[in-house]
Structure 1
Amino acid sequence: MDPTHAPTPALAVQLASEEVWLLADKALYWPAGEALLIADIHFGKAAAYRALGQPVPQGTTTNNLQRLDALLAQYPCRQLIFIGDFLHARQSHAPATLAALHAWRERNSELAILLIRGNHDRSAGDPPATLNIRVVAEPHLLGPFALQHEPHPHPSHHVLAGHVHPVCVLRGRGRQRLRLPCFSLDDGVCLLPAFGAFTGGMQVDPQAGRRLYALGGGGVWPVIAAD
């Protein structure tokens, strides 16, 4: 990361001979397909924790929906694709969470929405049919891409996956340490950061053939060059 440069809110990279845009707000945009891809939004996670008696912040669903609206307003979008973990748990079917989702869906009623089931979706159950979300199992093939929640290689398509919630650690002078969400691009597999406002992360370390792009300060920052 170079703080002397202005932040880049979207960075174009090549995957499977296609241009995709890595977005600073933890999403991926495929211009040729006019598709916005979101991983691990975990709607209702805070509600699920509160149902267990845990003191966690409120307003995460509203925050996630506002960020989605901002991205949909900025990028031409024919389809919104959730790569797993739309709902966090069965307790995520809380009335307030579902009411907010239905109100948002009503404002975006013409938008095609696809969900590739993730591990949390299998335990939480599919979204209500009234949200008009098409739900499929992984892998879902779209153009040159295999859309999967789990980051397993695909024999013929480049994988776009979530599940891991990748973060990278940047170290500076004086033992400075900064932990940021990131995109992790390996040969054949691209990991998307978790979009949800109330999610953790797993550290992904640099290695040969891997490109890491940290997200922070409203920008996308390459932290390791492609080979």
Structure 2
Amino acid sequence: MSALHRIRLAGEDALLHPTGALLLPAHGALLVADAHFGKAVSYRRLGVPVPEATTGATLDALSRALASTSARRVVFLGDFLHSRRSHARETLAALQAWRDRHAALDLTLVRGNHDARAGDPPASLGIEATGEPLLLGSFALCHHPEPAAGRYVLAGHWHPCVGLGGRAFDRLRLPCFWLGDDSGAQPQRAVGVLPAFGSFTGMHPIRRVPGDRIYAIADGVLRPLPAA
């Protein structure tokens, strides 16, 4: 069974991957939000004990998503590097090794708020950096999830998650795709937010409204949730 979940979005096909990536097959583009490479090393340099090997885990997830798709291009929807401290030798070496294995792949970064502080990726990574929005078919690719006239926005920034409750009053938070109304009836809601792709990122609970579509990620499986 394919790990990809096919939906229609703004009149185009879109494929959701349980890593948190989204494929636009008509454009051969895999979208990834909020990788935050080098976040862990940034914290360690401040003396905060945090998990190891987070860059490798995020790159492995990206390789899995690429292997499941026919993507010719990756578009990072902001926050590629976490901070200026993310330009650590080991982080950049891991990124360069991954890039060398995918030399034919087109890479684009739509700059986000963390990119403004971290700076653009090193030129050796061959990543084209641009401001938002990046227009692609029916979509405006952004970091900040704000409406754009005449386009459906796909963005990151919020690290969305949904809370689920059990019979024993336990609570579980799951990362999710949060896709606003694409019918045209609510243009202010024509915004979709991808889950944070990085393996070491926080999450922010969302507030669903009628017309939203939510796809939670649990144990490597995508699960559509009932409408609000």
| TM-score > 0.5, shorter chain as reference | yes
Alignment partner for residue 36 of structure 2, among 39, 42, 50?
Answer: 42
TM-score, scaled relative to structure 2: 0.94
Equivalent residue number for residue 86 of structure 1: 80
Equivalent residue number for residue 53 of structure 1: 47
Equivalent residue number for residue 103 of structure 2: 109
Deviation at 1:219? 1.1
Deviation at 1:9? 2.5
Aligned equivalents of 2:16, 2:63: Cα separation in 1: 17
TM-score, scaled relative to structure 1: 0.94
Gaps of 5+ in 1: 1-6
SS in 1 for 2:168: helix
Equivalent residue number for residue 215 of structure 2: 213
Aligned equivalents of 1:167, 1:221: Cα separation in 2: 13
Alignment partner for residue 196 of structure 1, among 198, 201, 210?
Answer: 198
Q: Does 1:180 align with 2:182?
A: no
Equivalent residue number for residue 225 of structure 2: 223
Alignment partner for residue 25 of structure 1, among 14, 19, 41?
Answer: 19
Corresponding letter in the other structure for 1:191: V
Aligned equivalents of 2:64, 2:6: Cα separation in 1: 19
Contact 1:8 1:219 in 2 (8 A): no
Contact 1:10 1:219 in 2 (8 A): no
Contact 2:210 2:227 in 1 (8 A): no
Q: Does 1:153 align with 2:153?
A: no
Identity across matched positions, percent: 51
Corresponding letter in the other structure for 2:200: F
Describe the superposition over 1:81-130 as per-residue Cα deviations: whole angstroms up to 9, x where unpaired: 10000000000000000011111111111100000000000000000011
Describe the superposition over 1:146-173 as per-residue Cα deviations: whole angstroms up to 9, x where unpaired: 0000000000110000000000001121
Gaps of 5+ in 2: 182-189
Corresponding letter in the other structure for 1:189: V
Q: Does 1:133 align with 2:120?
A: no
Contact 1:28 1:37 in 2 (8 A): yes
Aligned equivalents of 2:11, 2:39: Cα separation in 1: 36
Structure 1 pair 225/12, CA: closer, same or farther in 2 (3 Å)?
farther
Contact 1:117 1:137 in 2 (8 A): yes
Corresponding letter in the other structure for 1:111: L
Equivalent residue number for residue 184 of structure 2: none
Contact 1:10 1:21 in 2 (8 A): yes
Aligned equivalents of 2:225, 2:133: Cα separation in 1: 29
Corresponding letter in the other structure for 2:70: P
Equivalent residue number for residue 64 of structure 1: 58
Alignment partner for residue 91 of structure 2, among 94, 97, 121?
Answer: 97
Contact 1:8 1:221 in 2 (8 A): no
Deviation at 1:225? 3.1
Equivalent residue number for residue 185 of structure 2: none
